[in-house]
Structure 1
């Protein structure tokens, strides 16, 4: 094809047809420009297609992360709802001296309070794409903004859980350490909600026979104002965590629906 155009140019020059040559040269330039524009258009189309595929793949993976987040939030909600139930039960006995729990029930209701939830956030897909600058070619800026807000708000969950853990370590554990743990049996951990299986721990503790014949005066701790103050403080912190969890559950549900709707 190049030889063909070169041959035409040479013939026009040799025949001294400058007018026709200029027209031909202009036409050739126009053809070259059109070719370049077509090539650019094809290249842009390919780049847009790749960007769209990358964006679709990103949101598909984010959707999987959000589903894992949702399952984790359901666990957090159950964990903290049960914690409030246990705190409520203990506070009921604290404020009613005519009621007696018995050492076994006391052990079953105080033991879950030693445990706290570990905040986990599934944000690898988002953070990886963010660090690689992948978002620059994405069109769904509003969804990215909502996702960014969702992941940055995870610090609220971390702070709420940390507040409970800190309160347990500085207030509850020192109080309970004044009481011998002879109340622990195989059934002590039955009310414990934890991601790890702790059943073997309580079986092991119960298997080590205690020959001391200790008199465990749990009522002394149960009736102390310090215990009441702790239960109320823990309940307040737990309600705060539950509120943060509920708000995040609403956010993840909204994000999932929007991603599914747009795809």
Structure 2
């Protein structure tokens, strides 16, 4: 094609047809400009298609992670709801000394309180895209803003769960250290809610026979004012955690609708 145009130019020059040559030259320039514009349009279209596909892939991956988060939040909600039940049961016996609990029941309701929940944030896709500056070409700005707020608010979950963990370590465990742990048996962990199995631990402890004849005076623990203070403090923190979890669940449901 280039040789064809060159031959035309040469013929016009040789024939001394200046006016026709100028018209031809202008026409050639116009064709070149049109070609460049078409190429730019094609390139822009390709870039837009790539950007659309990148954005679609981003939201597909975010959706997968949000659904993981949904399952995790359901677990957190169940974990802390059960914790309230155990705290309520123990507080009932603490405040009613005429009720006899029995060491086995005491052990089953006390053991779950040693466990706290560790928060997990499924935000890898969002943070990776954010660090790479990928959001600049995205169209769904409002949705990105909502996602950013959702992930930022995860710190509320972390602080709430951390508060419960510290309270267990600083207040609950010191109270329980005064009680010999020979009350633990293979059934003690039946009410424990944990993502990993803990039954092997309780089976192992129960398999080691205790020949000392020490009696675990759990009633003395129930009468300790510190235990009542702990149960109420833990209950308050757990209700707070449930409130934060519920708020996050609501935010998540709104995101999933979008």
Q: Which residue of 1 aligns with 2:220?
A: 220
Deviations 1:77-122 (A, max 9, x none): 0000000000011111111111111111111101000000011111
Aligned length, in residue pairs = 258
Matched, 1:188 2:203: no
Residue 12 of structure 2 corresponds to: 12
Secondary structure of 1:255's counterpart equals helix
Deviation track 1:136-181 (CA, whole Å, cap 9, x = no partner) reads 2211111111111111111110100000000000000001001111
Name the residue aligned to 2:238: 238
- What does 1:86-125 align with in structure 2 at a 5 Å threshold? 86-125=86-125
Residue 19 of structure 1 deviates from its aligned partner by 2.2
1:17 positional shift: 2.4
User: 1:133-212 to 2 correspondence within 5 Å?
Assistant: 133-212=133-212
Cα distance in 1 between the residues matched to 2:11 and 2:209: 112
Offset, 1:208: 0.9
Query: What is the deviation of 1:18?
Result: 2.2
State the secondary structure of the residue aligned to 2:97: coil
Q: Which residue of 1 aligns with 2:251?
A: 251
CA-to-aligned-CA distance 1:194-238 (integer Å, 9 cap, x gap): 011000110111111111111222111111211111000000100
TM-score when normalising by structure 2: 0.97
After superposing on structure 2, the runs of 4+ consecutive aligned residues of structure 1 that deviate more than 3 Å are none
**Cross-structure match for 2:69:** 69
CA distance in 2, matches of 1:116, 1:251: 24
Q: Quick one: distance in 2 between partners of 1:143 and 1:36?
A: 37
Residue 248 of structure 1, CA deviation: 1.0
The root-mean-square deviation of aligned C-alpha atoms, in Å, is 1.1
How many Å apart are 1:126 and its aligned residue?
Answer: 1.3
Measured against aligned partners, the alpha-carbon deviations of 1:23-76 in whole angstroms (never above 9, x if no partner) come to: 221111111111000000000111111111111111111111111111111110
**Structure 2 unmatched ranges of 5 or more:** none
Cα distance between partner residues in 2 of 1:100 and 1:67:
45
Report the alpha carbon displacement of residue 14 of structure 1 after superposing the two structures with TM. 2.4
